[in-house]
Amino acid sequence: MTDMYRYISLILLLFTLINCTNEDKLLVDVSGIEVHPTFHRFDKLFYEAKPRDLPKLKEAYPYLFPEQNPDSVWINKMQDVDEQELFKASKQVFPTFKEEEEALIDLFKHVKYYFPAFEAPDVISLISNVDYETKVIYADSLMLVSLDLYLGPDSEVYRDFPNYIKQNFRKDRLVIDAAEAITRVQIPFSMDRTFLSRMIQEGKQLYLYDAYMPAVDDATKIGYTEDQIAWAEANQTEVWKYFIQKELLYSTDFELSRRFIDPAPFSKFYLENDNETPGSIGRWFGWQMVRAFMKNTNTSIPELLKTPNETIFKKSKYKPAK
């Protein structure tokens, strides 16, 4: 009876392994991984401070106070009406930072799971005067996060921003932007400048999001709405056919990045219904190719990052789902 039980258990285990999806493989246990970041609400410390507090702040955070700027610059900044309004709005959205701390710690644990040498950075929250090109800055031991860029797309602060940009000025994007800052320094630069390679380069980053944040939905990871994800899935065959028929995959025309990879309100096929498409559709395709490659091969995350993009495409055997 015991032997029969063991036999059945073995069959069930093998069945489970055979049917394990790529997503299942990324549901790793990080509970035993230790990371020790510290979190600093510098935005509160600075904008609630008095001029007399400035020396202590400079002593505690010297890297945030360039020496070439006199104290008068920082005092004026503390008391600036517009910056105080930004801080007030940020404090309403982030009365505490506990939820974000938990998400970031989970992110750091997943990164360390795949890259044991990774050391979680200390996280400093601040106000950047809505500098959306530097939402998160990561430099080894430090991560600077601009809270005024996560007030919600309907915030009056962003009234002059186009929808495709401000749709991602949401709290749940903070951890994605943190992951983006980390992965930017993890993924080796590729000398292959074909459109195909550029798509797969983006796909590597999005696959790292899969690995580092397996519980986050696809729309949030790529910065799409649910409708945009649905469009990509429903139209992937036609878009791929367009890329093939126009012989774009091996083109080195850099204009293709502007049309299909860079942030934009829609992708540019030069068709009448372009405005119905999601922007950066090339990133989505690169993501699917990398997912297919990882499903079809026994490749580790570190090995993926070193694999040439052309090799990934060939071994992915990628075909759009019909």
- Could you write out the three-class secondary structure of 83-98? HHHHHHHHHHHCCCCH
Q: Is the pLDDT of residue 18 over 80?
A: no
- Residue 93's domain comprises 39-186
Q: What distance in Å separates the CA atoms of residue 282 and residue 202, rounded to the nearest whole number?
A: 8
Q: Are strands 136-139 and 142-146 parallel, antiparallel or unpaired?
A: antiparallel
Residues 177 and 289 in one domain: no
Report pLDDT for 6: 54
Report pLDDT for 105: 98
Which of 163, 186, 209 is the last residue before a domain boundary? 186
Q: Is the pLDDT of residue 41 over 80?
A: yes
Q: Is the pLDDT of residue 1 over 60?
A: no
Which of 128, 158, 186 is the last residue before a domain boundary? 186
Angle subtended at Cα 8 by Cα 6 and Cα 11, rounded to the nearest 5 degrees:
110
Report pLDDT for 294: 98
Residues 56 and 162 in one domain: yes
**Residue 13's pLDDT band (cuts 50, 70, 90):** very low
Residues 115 and 243 in one domain: no
Q: What distance in Å separates the CA atoms of residue 277 and residue 230, rounded to the nearest whole number?
A: 10
Which of 139, 159, 186 is the last residue before a domain boundary? 186
Encoded tokens for 151: 């007030």
Q: Quick one: average pLDDT of 263-273?
A: 97
Domain-embedded: residue 235: yes
Q: Quick one: average pLDDT of 150-162?
A: 97
Number of domains in the chain: 2
Indicate the pTM of the whole model: 0.91
Candidate from 4-8, 26-30, 31-35 with smallest mean pLDDT: 4-8
Domain-embedded: residue 31: no
Residues 91 and 174 in one domain: yes
